[in-house]
Structure 1
Amino acid sequence: MLNVLMFAAGLAALVVGADVLVRGAARLALSFHISPLVVGLTIVAFGTSAPEMAVSAGAVLNGQTDLAIGNVVGSNIFNVLFILGVSAVIAPLVVHNQIIRQEVPILIGASLLLLVLSLDRRLGVLDGALFVGLLVAYTAFLVVQSRRETRAAAAGTPDAAPGEYEAGLQPAAPGAWDSHLWVQLLLIVGGLGLLVLGSDWLVTAAVAFAKALGVSDVVIGLTIVAAGTSMPEVATSIAAALKGERDIAVGNAVGSSTFNILGCLGLSGLLAGSTGLTVPGSVLAFDIWVMLAVALASLPIFLSGREIARWEGAVFLGYYVAYVSYLIMAAQDHAALPTYSAVMMSFVIPLTLVTLVVSLIRKVPQP
């Protein structure tokens, strides 16, 4: 009963925290002339990834490196397939040029770097330092780029990036309660606090349920903990989609995935010291490849009309269900696993690829 109450309280804290965070972040973007997209990629994405960082760092300090690696990889798969899928089903998500030409390629590059560094089954201190250094450089670049484009747009120069610094946001009326900088910062901090607290309660209850069912640490990290620590991203992206802040919804999911690799694993690698993080063989053989494939697959969907349609969101959700089903069957060594894998590889995945290619071709402007 205590776990059930904790689970319900966690969900309530996530809903309230997400609403408060989106309001504060959107207003802060206008106050500092930073695009809502960049706020979603940085402040909101980094803040909602705080649970992943806390869980991964805590797992390393407790010697549970399987949980730390599984949490990050599973969260990235969850971010793209589930969060963008649910958000797109609620309201088709407009994808700006910056996401297509810059943010998704950066996410793909970070995923490839993780794969390469994991080939020796170990992430050491130098690997962690590299990730953290790249994260600092990436964040600084985003802020400088956004401020430059916003100034260019305000001046009406050719260097402006139309549509990329606007998200339908209206400045708060002078004297409005959320027009003050200290209020906006308080909203962001308060929202993040509720998100972290809510996700902690949710993960604690979910892990207790999973342990009672005898699920392994790796599967818990890839599914229950990954989904639980991503609940802030879920709540924030859904709240942003419902409010029409679609830049924040998309930027949050993509930015959180990049932060998970560079920030969470970077800090975890530094905390692991000379022993480093041991990458589980099952994760290297399958789950990291799924994470990379998901990042790669999102690019043609974004390109197809620069919008994630409702049916494409449903496809994302379907693949996440299929992925979790595979993990559960593999953990139980279920007799139906070979048949399930054969159907997915020979029928479902090829059919989906053909559908996406046809959709992309139809949406390309004809000469």
Structure 2
Amino acid sequence: MMELNTLSLPVLLLVFTVAAAVIWVAGVHLSKSVDILSRHFHLGQALGGVILLAVVTNLPEIAITVSAALKGNLDMAVGNILGGIALQTVVLMFLDAFVLGKKGALTFMASSMSLILESIVLVMILILVVIGHQLPDSLSVFHISPASFAILLVWIFSLILVDKAGKGLPWKKENLSQNGSAKDKQSSQNKKAGKHIGKTVFIFVLCSLFTLFAGVTLESSGDAIAQHFHMNGLIFGATVLALATSLPEISTGAAAIKLGDYELAISDILGGNAFLPVLFLVASVIAKKSALPEAQPADIYLTGVAILLTLIYCIGLIFRSKKQCLRMGMDSLAVFLIYLLSIAGLFFIAS
């Protein structure tokens, strides 16, 4: 994608817009297919979001990380992984205000203990990122930091926990609405989805490929556009570029909300954010150098911001407040304001 730097600004803007449109359309179909696949394979909404949707919507980040690691550019790989996590959390605010709107606060509509568990696991993983950054290279095994191994283990274990939580927790009251007609309706939906599972898998794979290639194109064209405007790389990466690479999450989240699958919309974001630090291990193996120590002060700063924003939504999921302000839940409003302040802080770090 390096040849994009030679294109004129109007052409770059066109490429950027087309790539964004492709990602948006693919995201709508991905959300629908994941909803069907989750029911067909009995994954549950949260686990489906963690395994399928979260990984697929991060395909652009995976490709960019691998490409940067192959070039030995671990700074770019680490920045790509950590730079977008905070903004992807802010995507929940966007979905709350502009997609769900006056229907209610997103954390009120999505009542699930699995989501609280996912947010706690995400905070654990991000704390491991901060710890791993402080560890010396001498502790690395096969160029991999102990923290990277720990992140992978925590992520895998979280899949087991989310699956277990989705099947019911000992203290949770049984939802009577799932008995009788509701169960019959769910069974009917599963049978109907099973008849076209082959087609659904094909759509899922095809849209995943479109998301991958369009996402990489979006990142490359966005970087070239930033160079045209001589924008600060750190600020651009944490705002405009992070927003661009978050389009898959926005698209799939919006589609999930329109389907009434609020849990899947949130799980996609939380699951994707928890998955991204797993790529540190991949980057380290490819570059033959531990990736975590390469994190810059701005990366660790944004990791701390991501922890704070995640905990705010965790509290929102626990209290499930109906209160709204500016068409969004109070937790989303807090997330929006704190993120704006954190971006202001980036200017001091970049200077």
- TM-score normalised by L of structure 1: 0.76
Task: Work out which of the residue numbers 340, 345, 349 in structure 2 matches 1:321.
Answer: 340
- Seen in structure 2, the aligned counterparts of structure 1 residues 299 and 188 have a Cα distance that, compared at 3 Å, is same
Matched with 2:95 is 87
Q: Is 1:302–1:308's contact at 8 Å kept on the other side of the alignment?
A: no
Give matches, 1:1-367, under 5 Å: 1-81=10-90, 83-89=91-97, 90-91=99-100, 92-93=105-106, 94-99=109-114, 101-120=116-135, 124-127=143-146, 128-143=148-163, 146=166, 148-149=167-168, 162=175, 171-172=188-189, 179-261=195-277, 263-274=278-289, 276-283=291-298, 286-305=301-320, 309=324, 310-312=328-330, 313-328=332-347, 330-331=349-350, 333=351
- Seen in structure 2, the aligned counterparts of structure 1 residues 301 and 126 have a Cα distance that, compared at 3 Å, is same
- The DSSP-based 3-state class of the residue aligned with 1:125 is coil
Report how far residue 136 of structure 1 moved: 3.1
- Seen in structure 2, the aligned counterparts of structure 1 residues 269 and 173 have a Cα distance that, compared at 3 Å, is closer
- The DSSP-based 3-state class of the residue aligned with 1:107 is helix
1:27 maps to amino acid: I
Report how far residue 57 of structure 1 moved: 2.0
- Seen in structure 2, the aligned counterparts of structure 1 residues 269 and 76 have a Cα distance that, compared at 3 Å, is same
2:96 maps to amino acid: A
Q: Is 1:130–1:266's contact at 8 Å kept on the other side of the alignment?
A: no
| Distance in 2 (alpha carbons) for counterparts of 1:301 and 1:121 | 37
Report how far residue 11 of structure 1 moved: 1.6
Gaps of 5+ in 2: 1-9
- The DSSP-based 3-state class of the residue aligned with 2:288 is helix
1:132 maps to amino acid: L
| Distance in 2 (alpha carbons) for counterparts of 1:77 and 1:26 | 25
| Distance in 1 (alpha carbons) for counterparts of 2:190 and 2:48 | 21
What is the number of residues matched between the two proteins?
A: 322
- Seen in structure 2, the aligned counterparts of structure 1 residues 126 and 27 have a Cα distance that, compared at 3 Å, is same
Moved more, 37-46 or 64-73: 64-73
Q: Is 2:128–2:151's contact at 8 Å kept on the other side of the alignment?
A: no
| Distance in 2 (alpha carbons) for counterparts of 1:163 and 1:246 | 20
Q: Is 2:47–2:162's contact at 8 Å kept on the other side of the alignment?
A: yes
Report how far residue 141 of structure 1 moved: 4.5
Q: Is 2:125–2:274's contact at 8 Å kept on the other side of the alignment?
A: yes
| Distance in 2 (alpha carbons) for counterparts of 1:100 and 1:143 | 11
1:204 maps to amino acid: S
Report how far residue 160 of structure 1 moved: 7.8
- The DSSP-based 3-state class of the residue aligned with 1:247 is helix
Over the aligned positions, Cα root-mean-square deviation in angstroms equals 3.3
1:97 maps to amino acid: S
- Seen in structure 2, the aligned counterparts of structure 1 residues 188 and 140 have a Cα distance that, compared at 3 Å, is farther
Q: Is 2:23–2:211's contact at 8 Å kept on the other side of the alignment?
A: yes
- Seen in structure 2, the aligned counterparts of structure 1 residues 279 and 293 have a Cα distance that, compared at 3 Å, is farther
Q: Is 2:132–2:292's contact at 8 Å kept on the other side of the alignment?
A: no
Report how far residue 297 of structure 1 moved: 2.5
| Distance in 2 (alpha carbons) for counterparts of 1:133 and 1:158 | 27
1:311-359 deviation per Cα after TM superposition (whole angstroms, max 9, x unaligned)? 433443343333334434653x4xxxxxxxxxxxxxxxxxxxxxxxxxx
| Distance in 2 (alpha carbons) for counterparts of 1:302 and 1:159 | 15
| Distance in 2 (alpha carbons) for counterparts of 1:244 and 1:169 | 14
1:140-187 deviation per Cα after TM superposition (whole angstroms, max 9, x unaligned)? 4444654x55xx9xxxx9988649999x978559677x8422112112
Report how far residue 195 of structure 1 moved: 1.8
Moved more, 5-14 or 291-300: 291-300
Q: Is 2:114–2:165's contact at 8 Å kept on the other side of the alignment?
A: no
| Distance in 2 (alpha carbons) for counterparts of 1:207 and 1:265 | 22
- Seen in structure 2, the aligned counterparts of structure 1 residues 107 and 307 have a Cα distance that, compared at 3 Å, is farther
Moved more, 24-33 or 136-145: 136-145
- Seen in structure 2, the aligned counterparts of structure 1 residues 33 and 311 have a Cα distance that, compared at 3 Å, is closer
Q: Is 1:71–1:222's contact at 8 Å kept on the other side of the alignment?
A: no
1:211-257 deviation per Cα after TM superposition (whole angstroms, max 9, x unaligned)? 22334544444334433322211111122122222111111011111
